[in-house]
Structure 1
């Protein structure tokens, strides 16, 4: 996708602070962090939403979630707890339509969010 910000990060055309990367998944710090740890985990392949990715390649969705947990371990928040968020659609706050998981932690996270 030529106009997708996250595809441009994957291709190296837009810089990002990469924290983990593998053959099919990449993780980088959010430029507007909402918690001390705020990392986005995305598939390299473009899929607009989590539901779309689940329908097209459920194994890749599993890899994405597994990579999110490894990010939490690397960041030292796996033991104390972290939030994994997929916003799907504009009403839910999705602003980049390339599926991405937010890994949030490092502080108490209230419920309900928002």
Structure 2
């Protein structure tokens, strides 16, 4: 049995403006922002605004909105970082690797010959994240 959604999770706090984030895109249903513990340059997260612990308890409408935002933001991330490709992934429950229990999708620009970094738990420099967010926003604005 899956545990209940906890409205005090860090992503819910980001949505409420209680914790700052380097936001790159927002619409009525989703928010995209830089991962503060990136596995690579440009690591971006997309979350639904509707409460959902993971993939299995999200509404179909919320999943559709997340998918559309993932595609839009992934294009911008790839452009902003001149990436050779992308890795997009999503974890569910502790056994599946999930550590923040609000549905979220990871977007990572990838480069030929460069291994994916580890999620070490170390926080990235805020100035670097701000720069990365600005690059993604500029790519979104350019279309």
Single out whichever of 21-30 and 61-70 deviates more from structure 2: 61-70
1:34 to 35, 39, 42: 39
Question: Displacement of 1:51 after TM fit?
Answer: 1.5
Gaps of 5+ in 2: 1-5, 117-143
The CA distance in 1 between the partners of 2:71 and 2:111, in whole Å, is 17
| Counterpart in the other structure of 2:71 | 69
**Larger relative strand fraction:** 1
Task: Please tell me whether Structure 1 or Structure 2 has the larger radius of gyration of its CA atoms.
Answer: 2
The CA distance in 2 between the partners of 1:84 and 1:104, in whole Å, is 6
Gaps of 5+ in 1: none
Deviations 1:3-33 (A, max 9, x none): 2111110010000000000001000000011
Structure 2 matches for 1:99-114, cutoff 5 A? Answer: 99-108=103-112
Does residue 26 of structure 2 align to residue 21 of structure 1?
Answer: yes
The CA distance in 1 between the partners of 2:40 and 2:7, in whole Å, is 30
Instruction: State the aligned residue count.
Output: 110
Question: Displacement of 1:72 after TM fit?
Answer: 1.5
State the Cα RMSD in Å.
2.4
TM-score by length of 2: 0.68
Contact kept in structure 2, 1:36 and 1:105, CA below 8 Å: yes
